[in-house]
């Protein structure tokens, strides 16, 4: 269980990072377009704590609210200020405007690509024991991390959900698990216990899929594909609302608290998925 304080810290870092990257895109685009930037602030514009340094006419500052950052271009609303944003040509202003979200998209591509590179590509058709909880029925029975689960009670297992369903249907009953370990098949008997907490799991194992190293094409292509899918989902939301595919109450605007609540749920679900998912 993740505490509210830890979730809040993760939320601040994640949201702050997204805002910072977004503003960095505006800053880099403005410098490229020859638009002067008076200030690049670390944190939301509030009380300025200190000026770190000045580079090419831009003050780099720290503000009291440590969440993301902001850019203050010269002549933002005054077209009479030379070298300012408002006096720049329309196409340059568009470049600066779109540089923020484009930077967020590029960051998403990199993050997803790194995740694929670290986690590898799932190999379908078999289920792997990713973790074994201390003093659990699985550990007592001799199940080890890295074992491949081939069958339960003689029923072939190719999907994680299949294993979960069989285990939950046999609580407090001995089950026979056909395991592959170091190229050899062995049979282990274990008893999933209904008395164990849900987050512990009835057997005390974390299930997943075997993975292989991803190729460079899969890493790059996967990063782009996942980012494109997420972006398309966001773009589709208003269309789905108009078509009635999404209820109006589900598509309502949310404030900072609502965003945090959704983030909290996502963190809890992610933690749960990494724990024992066998019930």
Identify the active-site residue in 23, 119, 134, 155.
Answer: 23
Residues 6+ apart with CB under 8 A from 206: 129, 130, 131, 132, 274, 275, 276, 277, 278
3-state SS of 129-172?
EEEECCCCHHHHHCCCCCCEEEEECCEECCCHHHHHHHHHCCCC
User: Closest by alpha carbon to 68, among 103, 97, 98?
Assistant: 103
Calpha distance 234→128 (Å, rounded) = 34
- According to DSSP, residue 245 is labeled S
Q: At what angle do helices 216-243 and 90-119 cross, to 10 degrees?
A: 120
Is residue 179 within 8 Å of residue 149, measured between CB atoms?
yes
Count CA within 13 A, CB hemisphere, residue 62.
6
Q: Would residue 180 show up in a list of annotated catalytic residues for this protein?
A: no
Is residue 60 within 8 Å of residue 52, measured between CB atoms?
yes
Maximum pairwise Cα distance, the chain: 81
Give bridge partners of residue 71 from the DSSP assignment. 40
Catalytic (active-site) positions:
23
């Amino acid at each position: 269980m993740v505490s509210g304080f830890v979730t809040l810290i993760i939320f601040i870092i994640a949201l702050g990072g997204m805002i910072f990257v977004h503003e960095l895109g505006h800053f880099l685009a403005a410098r490229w377009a020859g638009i002067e930037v008076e200030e690049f602030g670390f944190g939301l514009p509030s009380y300025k704590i200190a000026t770190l340094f000045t580079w090419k006419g831009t003050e780099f500052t720290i503000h009291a609210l440590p969440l993301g950052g902001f850019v203050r271009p010269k002549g933002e609303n005054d077209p009479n200020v030379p070298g300012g944003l408002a006096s720049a040509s329309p196409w340059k202003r568009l470049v600066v405007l779109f540089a923020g979200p484009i930077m967020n998209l590029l960051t998403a591509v990199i993050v997803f690509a790194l995740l694929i590179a670290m986690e590898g590509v799932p190999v379908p058709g078999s289920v792997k024991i990713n973790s074994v909880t201390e003093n659990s029925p699985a550990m007592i029975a001799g199940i080890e991390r890295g074992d491949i689960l081939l069958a339960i009670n003689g029923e072939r297992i190719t999907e994680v959900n299949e294993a979960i369903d069989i285990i939950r249907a046999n609580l407090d009953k001995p089950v026979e698990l056909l395991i592959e370990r170091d190229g050899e098949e062995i049979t282990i008997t274990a008893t999933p216990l209904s008395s164990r907490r849900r987050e512990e799991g009835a057997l005390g194992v974390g299930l997943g899929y075997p993975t292989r190293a991803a190729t460079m094409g899969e890493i790059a292509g996967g990063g782009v594909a996942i980012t494109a899918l997420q972006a398309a989902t966001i773009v589709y939301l208003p269309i789905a609302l108009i078509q009635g595919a999404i209820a109006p109450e589900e598509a309502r605007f949310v404030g900072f608290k609502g965003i945090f609540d959704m983030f909290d749920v996502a963190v809890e679900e992610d933690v749960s998925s990494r724990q024992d998912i066998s019930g």
